[in-house]
Amino acid sequence: MALKSTIFKAELQVSDLDRSYYAAHSLTVARHPSETDERMMVRILAFALQAHERLEFGRGLSTDDEPDLWLRDLTGAVECWVDVGLPDPRRLRKAAGRARAVVVYVYGGRSADVWWRQNAGELGRLDNLTVSVLPYEATQALAGLAQRTMRLQCTIQDGALWFGDESATVAVQPVVLQAAG
């Protein structure tokens, strides 16, 4: 018998001063049995960074042809494909042909550095790809915020963000490794 996903609920308040975007989102996040709290919280952080009224979670780990998050227009065409972790470059090439913009939030400390060194040349040819790395200490701290029911706030200003709940706040400074041209 296969293990089922664990459902998490999050009320996420986003104040993105860089984009002048201010909204509250009620999120239902399914955590795959093989997914860690760190990865799930990075997906929620990615949601905050890309927040839009039509942004949705994909089926994630259980499906190869869907991203972790995506923004589709009213016709169903993919405007933005968002992945977290260390995705396969073939997956990103396919996504780049399918979506107007592809965004990857890489995390994992040394493994993220190794992944980027191995794939930077190939991924550099994708004009619509943006790759940012999240600091290891920050993603570890985000994992500590994971609870079945969460009330989260995210403030974004000048590319830096503060993400937390009523008991703790994590400062995150993503570093852009490649910006879409």
Phi, psi (degrees; rounded to nearest 5) at 97: -80, -20
In a domain, 88, yes or no: yes
| Each residue's pLDDT tens digit, 104-115 | 999 999 999 999
In a domain, 65, yes or no: yes
Neighbours of 152 (CB within 10 A): 23
Statement: the pTM of the whole predicted model exceeds 0.85: yes
In a domain, 153, yes or no: yes
Q: Domain residues for 23?
A: 6-178
Return the structure tokens found at 86.
């260390």
| Each residue's pLDDT tens digit, 134-177 | 999 999 999 999 999 999 999 999 999 999 999 999 999 999 99
In a domain, 1, yes or no: no
| Each residue's pLDDT tens digit, 74-104 | 999 999 999 999 999 999 999 999 999 999 9
In a domain, 156, yes or no: yes
CATH code of the domain in which 160 resides: 3.10.640.10
